[in-house]
């Protein structure tokens, strides 16, 4: 099963989560690709069976860089006839969206549009969305008019997030996903 972790990160929090996913997949004897999305990146997602795609939440959505990348992929795949009406599920292809957010105003609800946006992309490809993971991440370089943003928001004190427990939680979830997908593969071989 080929896997890829595609992500963007402006100040490092989402990169930490992406690396935790990478670490965990590697421990499970997968050989994942870890790719930070930059302008001009070319990659064929259909080469991969398990896609992780993640971003920081920026005004409720993914970063502009990641959205531009996704829109370009959609355009290219559309041109190749790969985005099909009704988006039929391709057997054996899975995706998970993830991201980090500070939730200062309305908590985790600030992160939901971002992962929904990414899930929509995954499903357009015909991949089955397995989950969406929202990890709390402190605001680095807080805005001048709100220096205490990491303490006064709805999530309380988030100064150390993502912390060790957050990253361990992600690593454990990845292991769970790999275990269930491989047991499904074993069952399939016996049908």
* Residues of the shown chain interacting with ligand FMN in the complex, contacts defined by CB under 6 A: 9-15, 56-60, 100-103, 110-111, 137-140
Q: Closest CB to ligand FMN among 6 and 181? A: 6
* Minimum gap (Å) between residue 77 Cβ and ligand FMN: 26
Q: Closest CB to ligand FMN among 14 and 115? A: 14
Q: Closest CB to ligand FMN among 110 and 171? A: 110
Q: For residues 57 and 110, is the Cβ–Cβ distance under 8 A?
A: yes
Question: Residue 137: how many CA atoms within 13 Å on its side-chain side?
Answer: 27
Give the burial class of 186: count Cβ atoms within 10 A of its Cβ; 0-12 exposed, 13-18 middle, 19 or more buried. Answer: exposed
* Minimum gap (Å) between residue 78 Cβ and ligand FMN: 29
Q: Closest CB to ligand FMN among 13 and 119? A: 13
* Minimum gap (Å) between residue 170 Cβ and ligand FMN: 13
Q: Which residue is nearest to ligand FMN (CB)?
A: 137
Q: How far apart are CA 29 and CA 64, in angstroms?
A: 33
* Minimum gap (Å) between residue 49 Cβ and ligand FMN: 26
Q: For residues 171 and 20, is the Cβ–Cβ distance under 8 A?
A: yes
Q: Closest CB to ligand FMN among 10 and 74? A: 10
* Minimum gap (Å) between residue 68 Cβ and ligand FMN: 16
For 44, the token pair is 């064929």
- Write the DSSP string, 109-140: GGTHHHHHHHHHHHHHTTPEEEEEEEEE---S
Q: How many CB atoms lie within 10 A of CB 146?
A: 12
């Amino acid at each position: 099963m080929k896997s890829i972790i595609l992500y963007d990160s402006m100040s490092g929090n989402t990169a930490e989560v992406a690396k935790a996913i990478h670490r965990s997949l590697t421990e499970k004897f997968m050989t994942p690709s870890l790719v930070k999305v930059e302008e001009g990146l070319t990659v064929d997602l259909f080469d991969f069976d398990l896609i992780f795609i993640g971003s920081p939440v920026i005004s409720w959505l993914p970063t502009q860089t990641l959205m531009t990348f996704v829109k370009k992929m959609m355009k290219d795949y559309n041109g190749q006839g790969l985005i099909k009406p009704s988006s039929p599920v391709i057997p054996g292809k899975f995706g998970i969206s993830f991201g980090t957010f500070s939730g200062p105003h309305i908590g985790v609800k600030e992160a939901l549009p971002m992962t929904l946006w990414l899930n929509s992309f995954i499903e357009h490809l015909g991949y089955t969305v397995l989950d969406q993971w929202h990890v709390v991440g402190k605001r680095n370089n807080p805005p001048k008019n709100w220096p205490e943003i990491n303490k006064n928001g709805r999530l309380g004190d988030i100064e150390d997030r993502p912390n060790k427990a957050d990253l361990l939680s992600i690593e454990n979830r990845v292991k769970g996903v790999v275990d269930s997908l491989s047991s499904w593969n074993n069952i399939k071989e016996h049908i």
